[in-house]
Amino acid sequence: MSRHHGPDRSLRHAVRLARVLLSSQYALMLEFRAEIVLWALSGVLPLIMLGLWSGTGVASIPGFTPQRLVHYFLAAFVVRQFTIVWVIHAFEEDALQGRLSPALLQPLNPFWRYLAAHVSEQATRLPFVLAIVALVALVHPAALWWPTPAGLLLALLATHLAFLVRFVIQSALTMLCFWSERAAALERLLLIPYLFLSGLVAPLEAFPEPMRSFALNTPFPWMVWFPAQLLSGGTVPVARGFGVLAAWGLLFLPIAVLLWRAGLRRYSAMGA
Amino acid sequence: MPIIRAEGLSKTYRVADKQPGLLGTLRHFVARRSRDVPAVSEVSFAIEPGEIVGFLGPNGAGKTTTLKMLSGLIHPSAGTVEVAGCVPFRRQGRFLRQISLVMGQKQQLIWDLPPLDSLRVNAAVYGIEDAEAHRRIQELADMLELGDELTRPVRKLSLGERMKAELLAALLHRPAVLFLDEPTLGLDVNAQARVRRFLADINRRTGTTVLLTSHYMGDITALCPRVLLIHQGHLFFDGRLDALTERLTPCREVRLELAEPQPAAAFAPFGALESLEGRRVRLLIPQEQLTGAVARLLAMFAVLDLEVSEPPIEELIGRLFQQGVVG
């Protein structure tokens, strides 16, 4: 068995592992391409909200013209597609079906596999997202815009960071699967504030002031509204946005690690 | 120096206690009650490097729980355990690289992809270079008589092919200790024989220590010079298989289909009558009397069909405990 010594070999090992995990998960995702089309279609909530808002409500959103609103919701749709996290559902099913045990017996934390699965799913989702955007542009040519290079770069960074933070927060909740066989129900509960406060149903500017202030103290708007505004050319506090996302991630990462260690002590390898 | 050492190993599970019916359901919803169920109690044994040891016991005896503790999947409630110089439940990389667990009804292979994809992942996880991984896969595939099965999705493989691919995946990193939980469950006779041959071969070639549970006496007799016998969480026997066989009354199961139904008393001279359903009869006959008994049965009754087999190991062990031979 080859062992790894020194930072060079460790890095080489990590890069190879990442490459192999991503390619195998991508191959797996391609087996489910029809399902991924349906997932991509199921994320069109921002486009539905666009239809609702463009009727009457635009005038009441400060700083939003009808065209800006179209750009915002299209950007929110794209951001949403690349920040979807389902690790709690996958983990819960794996734990109940006894598939977690074989993964625990390997010298690799199973969450790296889940992370690779999410990234691969995003890669699989990309062409379908582009197709939906192209379709919207075909029907409504005014919906398209060219983001500035800086806006595009920041939006990309913010989207990836938002995804990672969501993954870390949901991973911390996932650890509750060690205590309850139905921990995913908690995630379903959190979906309600996520939907309303993230900016998926309306840009944060449409909220009354107390509501907006409250929302900005939660992680939710920074996961969709913040990157969507960056992408669509809106005005957002850039440094605060990245700072808040990093802070939520850094808060939940040690919680996830501690719960993981405590959870493993309770693990009874059910179903295995 | 033992490669596996367990001292007073115990595991108690806390399980929910729910009464049946609507009232029980409502009570369970309002105030959950649970109770402690001891699965393994003060089990001690030591296994030397290179041994193949059979782990026997009826369902629920504590075999799988013990294997889970030895492989580090679950924490023991009490006692100490050491495998390959490590404490399993700490799950250090050094430990995980030295062991493998194969469960007959569970798989580590990715269900929708060919086994080769899972093997590539395993090679990367264990840090085995591509060329070396390729060489090992080839060698193990030859031993297991696996060919194009490695490029077919796992879900399209037969149970036997899948188990062979699982064994290949489990041994790619050359573990020092291999735990097997019912590796031949559900396999046909030929596949069982191939798996047994492979395990014996691997043990001989690489000195891998093997601890296996099985319901098939054939697995145990073919592979394990030494057995551990566990019942209701307690270890009752630890010794050579032939010493255990001496304690078991060696017998064979004889199934008959008769042309005409016969009274139970008619079978008393032949052995223990296990069941009598119309024209179908099941007898347990001591092995040394088998030939004579079968000849007399054929002479005495109009027999349409006759089958001789080993009785299930669970039944033999059950008898053993009933007779109080062990303990």
Mean pLDDT of chain A: 87
Whole-Å CA distances, A87 to A24, A170, A221, B118, B227? 17, 7, 21, 20, 42
Residue B281: φ, ψ to 5°: -130, 140
pLDDT(B232) > 50: yes
Paired residues of B80 in beta bridges: B7
Chain A CB contacts of B114 under 8 Å are none
Largest CA distance in chain B: 69
Angle, to 10 degrees, between the axis of helix B189-206 and the axis of helix B130-144? 130
- Reply yes or no on whether the pLDDT at A101 is more than 60: yes
Residue B273 and residue B260: Cα distance in Å, rounded? Answer: 17
Query: Lowest-confidence range among A30-34, B112-116, B131-135, B295-299?
Result: A30-34
Q: Tell me the domains of chain B and their CATH numbers.
A: 4-246 (3.40.50.300), 250-323 (3.30.70)
Task: Name the band, by pLDDT with cuts 50, 70 and 90, for residue B318.
Answer: low
More confident position, B130 or A31: B130
Read off the pLDDT of residues A167-216 as tens digits, 9 standing for 90 and up: 999 999 999 988 887 788 888 888 889 989 999 888 999 889 899 999 99
Mean pLDDT taken over chain B? 89
Question: What is the Cα–Cα distance from B262 to B277, expressed in whole angstroms?
Answer: 10
Q: Could you write out the three-class secondary structure of B143-169?
A: HHCCCHHHHCCHHHCCHHHHHHHHHHH
pLDDT score of A117: 95
- Report chain A residues whose CB lies below 8 A from the CB of B136: none
Query: Closest by alpha carbon to A104, among B127, B125, B153?
Result: B125
Tell me how many residue pairs between chain A and chain B have CB atoms under 8 A apart.
Answer: 89
> What would the two tokens of residue B249 be?
């009354």
Better-predicted residue by pLDDT, A190 or A52: A190
Range name among A67-81, B176-190, B243-257 with the lowest pLDDT average: B243-257
Q: What is the pLDDT of residue B319?
A: 67
Minimal Cβ distance to B124: which of A20, A28, A269: A20
Average confidence (pLDDT) over A96-113: 92
CB contact at 8 A, A193 and A217: no
pLDDT over 50 at A1, yes or no: no
Which ipTM value was assigned to this complex? 0.84
**Reported confidence tier of residue A239, pLDDT bands at 50, 70, 90:** very high
- Give the bridge partners for B211, in sequence order: B53, B179
Q: What average pLDDT score do residues B145-170 get?
A: 92
Q: Which of A4, A101, A104 is closest, CB to CB, to B127?
A: A4
If one compares B287 and B95, the residue with the highest pLDDT of the two is: B95
Q: Which residue of B has its CA nearest to A21?
A: B121
- Measured between beta carbons, the chain B residues lying within 8 angstroms of A21 are 121, 124
At residue B288, the pLDDT reads 83
Q: Does an H or E element contain A97, and which?
A: helix A87-97
Q: Is A269 in Cβ contact with B96 (below 8 Å)?
A: no
Cβ A201 vs Cβ A195: under 8 Å: yes
Would you call B103 and A265 a contact, using CB atoms and an 8 Å cutoff?
Answer: no
Task: Please answer whether residues A131 and A39 qualify as being in contact, where contact means their C-beta atoms are separated by less than 8 angstroms.
Answer: no
Measure the CA–CA gap between B57 and B320, rounded to whole angstroms: 11
Question: Within a 10 A sphere around the Cβ of A238, how many other Cβ atoms?
Answer: 16
The A-side interface with B (CB below 8 A) comprises: 1-4, 13, 16-17, 19-21, 24, 27-28, 31-32, 98-99, 101-108, 264-265, 267-269, 272
Predicted pLDDT at A197:
94
Query: Is it the case that residue A253 has pLDDT exceeding 80?
Result: yes
Across the interface, of A3, A28, A269, the residue whose CB is closest to B68 is A269
DSSP states along B65-77:
HHHHHHTTSS--S
- Of A4-8, A62-66, A144-148, B106-110, the range with the lowest mean pLDDT is A4-8
Amino acid letter at A44? V
Give the Cα separation of B95 and B87 in Å (integer).
8
Instruction: For residues B210-224, give the mean pLDDT.
Output: 86
Residue of B101, B121, B125 lying closest to A107 (CB–CB): B125
Query: What residue type is assigned to position B46 of the chain?
Result: A
Q: What is the pLDDT of residue B154?
A: 94
Q: How confident is the model at residue A96 (pLDDT cuts 50, 70, 90)?
A: confident
Q: Measured between alpha carbons, how far is residue B83 from residues A93, A100, B47 in Å?
A: 30, 21, 9
**Cα angle for residues A193, A196, A198 (degrees, 5° grid):** 90
Q: How far is A260 from chain B (nearest CA, A)?
A: 13
Contacts of A111 in chain B (CB under 8 A): none
Return the minimum-mean-pLDDT range out of A247-256, B33-42, B110-119, B314-323.
B314-323
- Identify any residues that bridge with B102 across adjacent strands, giving them in sequence order: B180
CA atoms within 13 A of residue B201's CA, in its CB half-sphere: 13
The number of residues making up chain B comes to 327
Given a contact cutoff of 8 angstroms between Cβ atoms, the answer to whether A206 and A58 are in contact is no
pLDDT (average), residues B68-79: 94
For residue B305, what pLDDT is reported?
A: 93
Domain boundaries, chain A: 10-266
Residue of B59, B49, B102 whose CA lies nearest to B209:
B49
Residue ranges of alpha helices (H) inside A140-224 are 149-174, 184-197, 209-216
